Structure 1
Amino acid sequence: MSRQRTYTLIAAAVVLAAGAAVLAVRSGDDRPAAAPRPSASAPPARVILPGKPGESARVTDSDQVGSLGGSTYNAIDVTFVQMMIVHHEQALEMAALAPERAGDAGLRALAARISAAQGPEITWLKRWLRDRKLAEADASHDHSTMPGMQTPADLAALAGARGAEFDRRFVAMMTAHHRGAIQMAGDVLGGGSDQVLYETANEMAVEQGSEIRRMEQL
């Protein structure tokens, strides 16, 4: 075999290895997949890793890509997911009161929108934990201290209100609740490691910010 053809085959093998590494990182779930191990005689292939939203992609050696069982999430991610499940559940509890108690049709429509968005998000958050074999709850968490969480007394007062009084209480309580969720999402956006969760938390913050503006109009 000629020397030129040998070099060509080696170059092609390196390109294929890099392509396989990129596909491995981009396929499957949100955890990085295994990169092919370079041979002892060949340097690591260069691979491109996509950045978080708003960030540029970065180039690294294939031996620096996480293994198949590697983790891209951290304690901030896990705490956010576990706490947000409970946080969302309280929002659903409040929204469920609106159809029979709200005096304003726009408020009833907004409550329905909140339920339609946060119900599926709870399902997704639970699956995120289950896929990683993580507990759905942590006994050390004090849910009452989460930003925006409403007290049992506040919830009872809301359930006992009707018409304009219900509307006033609902807007005040749900606005505070949404602002708390946005604050919690900021923890993930600032210190989380899981890219898909980063994007999901950002979408939650945008959606709930939009709903706050709608409640201000109401």
Structure 2
Amino acid sequence: MGGCGTAPDTPAQVTTNAKAVVQADGKFNDTDVMYLQMMVAHHEQGLEMVRLAEKSAQREEIKNLAHAVDATQSDEVELMKSWLTGWKKPVTVDHAPSAHADHGGLPATGKEEIAALKKAKGTAFETAFLNLFVAHQHNAVEMAQLEKTDGANAETKAFADRVRESRTDQIKQMLTLLNT
């Protein structure tokens, strides 16, 4: 693509402000609520990590992945919060470990791990980010499976299925990046 101020073969970056509004109407159960609350917290933690990668990664492939995850998960957080608000449920999750013991605990990346990531530089940052984010996205896949099995709301279950598929693809992509 050529043009004023654009180098040949440089992909154009387009930013849009379009948002799809999907309603999670119909019945829902405690699993649907818990899944969305846990995923909001999980996504917010993931956003913290990808925003570090957008700034600190050296390889364009990692920066591009981080940017794509940032855009997707930012939209997903808004969507999940809108569903919870529509159901008149809190958008935050109880972070006490005992509150989630029945379903394996609240999957989270530790504060120590994120603090270490913030300190890492260069290729050490990239390796730490990719390893940490593979594990983080694996937790999202596991939580999505719980929703698919025990949830009641059709839209929330469909969302969980999309999360499972997209995070599985991201994990494969990150494993490839770790090996290059």
If the length of structure 2 is used for normalisation, what is the TM-score?
0.78
Asked whether the 8 Å contact 1:129–1:135 carries over to 2, the reply is yes
Structure 2 partner of 1:197: 156
Asked whether the 8 Å contact 1:103–1:162 carries over to 2, the reply is no
Structure 2 partner of 1:165: 124
With CA pairs under 8 Å and 6+ residues apart, which has the higher RCO, 1 or 2? 2
Structure 2 partner of 1:146: 106
Asked whether the 8 Å contact 1:102–1:163 carries over to 2, the reply is yes
Structure 2 partner of 1:179: 138
Given candidates 25, 28, 31, the residue that maps to 2:25 is 31
**TM-aligned CA distance change 1:155 to 1:140, over 3 Å:** closer
With 136-145 and 177-186 compared, the bigger mean Cα shift is at: 136-145
Runs of 4+ in 1 over 3 A off after TM superposition: 28-32, 138-145
Cα deviation 1:53-104 (Å, max 9, x = unaligned): xxxxxxxxxxxxxxxxxxx111111100111100000000000111321121
Show structure 2 runs of 5+ residues with no match.
1-21
Of structures 1 and 2, the larger Rg is shown by: 1
- Give the superposition deviation at 1:204: 0.8
Given candidates 123, 127, 145, the residue that maps to 2:78 is 123
- Give the superposition deviation at 1:30: 4.0
Structure 1 partner of 2:65: 110
Asked whether the 8 Å contact 2:41–2:93 carries over to 1, the reply is no
Show structure 1 runs of 5+ residues with no match.
1-27, 33-71
If the length of structure 1 is used for normalisation, what is the TM-score?
0.65
Identity rate, percent: 28
Cα deviation 1:152-210 (Å, max 9, x = unaligned): 11101101111100010001100000000000000110010000111011001111111
Task: Give the distance between the partners of 1:117 and 1:140, measured in 2 at CA.
Answer: 24
